[in-house]
Amino acid sequence: MKEIDQFVKRLFKKEPPQKENLNIIKEMLYEKVEDLKDAGLSEKAAIDKTITEFGDLEDFYLPNVEKEKKRYKRQKTIRHYKNDLLFASLSTLIIIAILFTVNINYFSSYGWWFIVPSLGVLFWPLSILYKFLNKKGE
């Protein structure tokens, strides 16, 4: 059953388990091969079917880890976007208040010119809101 040994060795090349666990896995695979041979399959067919049914380490372990990492990273990014949105909104309000004050106190004869730069400044929190909603919707 050299094929089983090679399969297990290749399977756990990146993250080798403890020796006991490795032996338990090999033993389970050997038993599966014996059961399939008792059911009438040849040794080669039984080994192939055992390896195919067992699958690969990526089939049941790594996708969950990768999925958790991606979920954590996405949640962290969403928290950052919330903070950025709060900062951008408050800063925009302060900038608009300053523009309004300057307009009223010093340049009231020129009309309501503070509206034009205020509209430009409003795009800052709107762009962050757009990014936040896109990230949250994923």
pLDDT, tens digit, 9 for 90 and up, residues 80-138: 999 999 999 999 999 999 999 999 999 888 899 999 999 999 999 999 999 888 887 76
Helix 19-38 / helix 2-11 crossing angle, nearest 10 deg: 140
The pair of structure tokens assigned to 84 is 């950025």
Q: What token pair was written down for 22?
A: 């490795």
**pTM (2 d.p.):** 0.49
* Residue 129 CB coordination number (10 Å): 15
CA distances from 39 to 32, 35, 94 (A): 11, 6, 79
25-65 pLDDT tens trace: 888 888 888 988 898 888 888 888 888 887 655 554 555 66
